[in-house]
Amino acid sequence: MSNFVSAEQLSALQSSGAPVRVIDVRWRLDRPDGHAEYLGGHIPGAVYVPLATELATHGEASEGRHPLPSTLTLQDAARRWGVRRGDLVIAYDDAKGLSASRAWWLLRQAGVEVRVLDGGLRAWIAAGLPLATDDVRVDAGDVVLAEIGGDAISIDEAAAFPENGILLDVRAPERYRGEHEPLDPVAGHIPGAVNLPMAAHLDPEGRILDMHTLQATFAKVGVTEGTPVAAYCGSGITAAHTALVLDEVGIAAKVFPGSWSQWSNTPGRPVATGDRPA
C-alpha cells in the first residue's frame, strides 16, 4: 500500500465517514509558525500541528535544531489532534511534503497508520476542493503510541555509516559542497556522504515521481534493495521526506535527526567540501 493519498482519495475518505484524522503541518525554515496560513485556508476538519513543539523539541545547539520529541510528548500531541486507536492519519503541508513527512516518520514508528497527501495543499486546491478557515478543535483522542526512535541514528552512527552503507545528504548541492551555508556555523558535509537532493523525487507541482524514476534515481547513487541507507539534511526535517520516498520504493532507511545542525555544532567533527563524498 502506498504511503501517499491523492486529494480525491482523501476527499472520498472524508465523505465516507471513515475514521480519518487530517493534520496540517504547515512549517518552513523562513516561517516556522504556520498557524496564520492555516487560518487563511486549510482542508476542512484538519487540525493544525506546530512542528517545533509537537514533532520536535528544544535542546542545546549540539543536539541540532529539531531534536526528537519524547514518545509521551508525541502521544499527548496526537491525542490533542483527536487521534483514536485505529484511526488513519493523513498529513499535509504547503511545502512539497517536507514537514508532513516528519509527521509520517514519527507516527509510523509509533505504530500509527499514516499517509501523506501527495502534492499537499496545492493538489487539494487544484482538484477544486473546498477550504475552511476555522481553527479546528476536536475531542481528545485515546491513541497509545509505541516507543519512537528506532529508525533514528546517532551522530556517531552517522559518522561510521559510510563504511558499510550509503549516507545520503539530501540538502541542496551548494550546501553539500560547502559553497553556501545560511544557517549553520560550518559549511560542507559529513565525510563519506553522497549528495541526493530531495527535489530529485518530485515533479514541479510537488507530487511524487513514478516508481521506475525513483528507483533509477536512487540506483545512480548506489542505493538499491538491500543497501543499508541513512539520510540527513540541515536539521532532520527534509531527511524524513527521503525516508518516506525510500519506503515507497521498498527500501528501509534510517534518519540522522541531528543532521548537519548537530554535526556542525559539535567540536572535533571532520568536514568535507566539494562534490565528492570524502
Quote the distance between the C-alpha of residue 275 and its chain's center: 25
Spatial distance between the Cα atoms of 6 and 118, rounded to a whole number of angstroms:
5
Active site residues: 233
Q: Name the strands in the sheet holding 20-24, side by side, starting at the edge strand that comes first in the sequence.
A: 4-5, 113-117, 88-92, 20-24, 47-48
